[in-house]
Amino acid sequence: RIGSATSLSSAIINNRLQELVKLFKERTEKVKEKLTDPDVTSDDESPTASPIAAPVPPPGGKPEGDKLVGDEHYCEMLCCTLNYGPWLGRLKNYQFPSSIDPLTNLMYVLWLFFVVMAWNWNCWLIPVRWAFPYQTPSNIYCWLAVDYLCDLIYLLDILVFQTRLQFVQGGDIITDKKAMKENYLRSQRFKMDVVCLLPLDFFYFKVGVNPLLRFPRCLKYMAFFEFNNRLEAILSKAYIYRVIRTTAYLLYSLHVNSCLYYWASAYEGLGSTTWVYDGEGNSYIRCYYWAVKTLITIGGLPDPKTLFEIIFQLLNYFTGVFAFSVMIGQMRDVVGAATAGQTYYRSCMDSTIKYMNFYKIPKPVQNRVKTWYEYTWHSQGMLDESELLVQLPDKMRLDIAIDVNYNIVSKVALFQGCDRQMIFDMLKRLRSVVYLPNDYVCKKGEIGREMYIIQAGQVQVLGGPDGKTVLVTLKAGSVFGEISLLAAGGGNRRTANVIAHGFANLFILDKKDLNEILVHYPESQKLLRKKAKKMLKNNNKPEDKKGARGESLIIPPKADTPKLFQAALAATGRMGGKGPLAQLRWRLKELKMMQV
């Protein structure tokens, strides 16, 4: 029992000693790496969060922090608890900005929406109230209430928003209150806004509530076009809004024509001739139907009888042909702009198919080419991303590349510790390539000239005697082939086959591009070459039969004694001499005993 306990204790001590030795080795390696590469960060040097004193809970209650997190957003009423959300507190503490960026401020776009709604109220309902008998003494106050609400929105737009809009002068963004106010007062927009709010309503006391006196309110069209530009800039599919807006133009022209037709009918007398409106049914629907048939020139309308009716109908026909042709042309432009990318894709696809048929390319190859076109278009929305980015300035291309690729490239062990600006320059050189299922990304033995970063999809590393055994599967965010960028002297050959497992989107960095970048960053070049040598050395260490790496022996094996020397020693032993050879022979025997 004592022996078993002793052996157990010695085993535990031995394991603990091995763990300590392993920890000391790791610590030594970290210190050594820190001395050779000052840019490598250490775990011990990571910043720690400064301690913050915990809030003292009120007497008999929960801590203040918990109250802010949970109880602040709840309102207890009777037997239920209502969550009113944190937005109410933010709304109470909201402060109106002193200056507004009209290009990026979403609050300003929302305000323009209300201004445009007020403008549409005037544009659509002023003609209706003027022509049709819908404004009566019984509902006049409802119409006036909405009218003056729209006037209040116009006035707030002038006093609150337009005087706070930032503008560019000499390349600088002006945010000074006085300068912004003066810029608005000198603009054409201010003059039109003042004309829109002309107080013609005072004539109501003399001529009655006539909607035509509110016609200047329709001159606030600049807000409508500004709202269109801002809304199209933030929509992902702006062409849908353009189609809706063009359709609204057509409907509004029909709306105005129907109002004019009812006014002409009332001027001639309802039902006085076969051409005018007879006064039966819903007046607006009947007049709108007549306007549609007239402007679209469907035909089947009764012939005008009087001179007034003939002139009115001729003007209607001319206006209808012009307006309808303009609407069709604008709709064609909108649809053409929306499908321009699809048209380009079909054109490239058709040209490629025509080329392959001309040279009699095999059908399996043609099918793979078609599959590549379809997948690339549906996954990216374009065939080549560089065609889009080449139009942007260099700074904007860098910003987009950082947002898309920096998180992946910064995790590559080869580039850790390098100059940050060098990595930024490298991001702009990355190319996006799509691989089809079972496509070879690289083959064993070929010269490696690229590094690959998996953006989406998976790739498989193949090996084994037959070269078809899956060694590992790399997923999105993985990197391979980075050693080939800096290896030299035959070390840049691929050591395994890599194929795409399904569709794979990869970023590729060429060796030529990296060398052009490293010319301007000599320190990063030295660091990269040192890391590449270290990685190559780790990959090329020999392994013994058991699969472990070879280790140096403390006592090297003794070389065999030469045969001539052995014969001399044997002769000395037979002669029983006491010379130097006899002493040497005796010394060799002692060494053999020590080895045993």
Distance CA 528, CA 418 (A): 8
363 and 284 belong to one structural domain: yes
Residue at a domain's end among 189, 215, 234:
234
**What's the CA angle centered on 541, arms 539 and 547, to 5 degrees?**
100
Residue at a domain's end among 349, 383, 417:
383
256 and 194 belong to one structural domain: no
Here the CATH number for the domain that contains residue 329 is: 1.10.287
422 and 343 belong to one structural domain: no
pLDDT at 578 over 60: no
250 and 365 belong to one structural domain: yes
CA torsion through residues 6, 8, 13, 15, sign: positive
Give the pLDDT score at 574.
55
218 and 248 belong to one structural domain: no
457: closest CA among 433, 481, 492?
A: 433
Per-residue pLDDT, averaged over 44-58, amounts to: 41
pLDDT at 64 over 60: no
Per-residue pLDDT, averaged over 177-199, amounts to: 93
pLDDT band at 80 (very low <50, low <70, confident <90, very high): very low
Residue at a domain's end among 540, 556, 589:
540
Here the CATH number for the domain that contains residue 496 is: 2.60.120.10
86 part of a folded domain = no
584 part of a folded domain = no
418 and 501 belong to one structural domain: yes
Task: Measure the N-to-C terminal CA separation of the chain; round to a whole number of Å.
Answer: 33
40 part of a folded domain = no
25-29, 43-47, 320-324, 431-435: segment of lowest average pLDDT: 43-47
Residue with more model confidence, 537 or 214: 214
377 and 441 belong to one structural domain: no
Q: How far is CA 331 from CA 17, 229, 465, in A?
A: 82, 18, 64
pLDDT at 115 over 90: yes
Report helix, strand or coil for 64. helix
pLDDT band at 37 (very low <50, low <70, confident <90, very high): low
449 and 350 belong to one structural domain: no
Helix axes 221-234, 188-196, angle to 10 degrees: 120
E-assigned strand segments in 429-529: 431-435, 440-442, 450-463, 469-474, 479-480, 497-510
Contact 453, 405 (CB under 8 A): yes
pTM recorded for the entire structure: 0.62
397 and 536 belong to one structural domain: yes
What would the pLDDT profile of 448-488 be if each residue is shown by its tens digit? Answer: 888 888 888 899 999 888 878 898 999 887 888 877 776 65
Q: What are phi and psi for residue 235, nearest 5 degrees?
A: -85, 140
DSSP state of 343: H
58 part of a folded domain = no
Per-residue pLDDT, averaged over 232-259, amounts to: 90
191: containing domain: 95-234
Contact 75, 82 (CB under 8 A): yes
What would the pLDDT profile of 372-388 be if each residue is shown by its tens digit? Answer: 888 888 777 777 766 66
449 part of a folded domain = yes
pLDDT band at 190 (very low <50, low <70, confident <90, very high): very high
Give the pLDDT score at 162.
93
424 and 471 belong to one structural domain: yes
62 part of a folded domain = no
432 and 531 belong to one structural domain: yes
Amino acid making up residue 113 = F
Per-residue pLDDT, averaged over 334-350, amounts to: 83
Distance CA 499, CA 509 (A): 18
Report helix, strand or coil for 531. helix
Query: Which of the listed ranges 139-153, 236-250, 342-356 does the model predict with the highest average pLDDT?
Result: 139-153
Find all residues with CB under 8 Å of 449, minimum gap 6, and list them: 484, 492, 510, 511, 512
- C-alpha of 305 from chain center: 65
What's the total number of domains in the chain?
3
53 part of a folded domain = no
550 part of a folded domain = no
217 and 300 belong to one structural domain: no
Residue with more model confidence, 551 or 316: 316
Find all residues with CB under 8 Å of 584, minimum gap 6, and list them: 569
Distance CA 405, CA 565 (A): 71
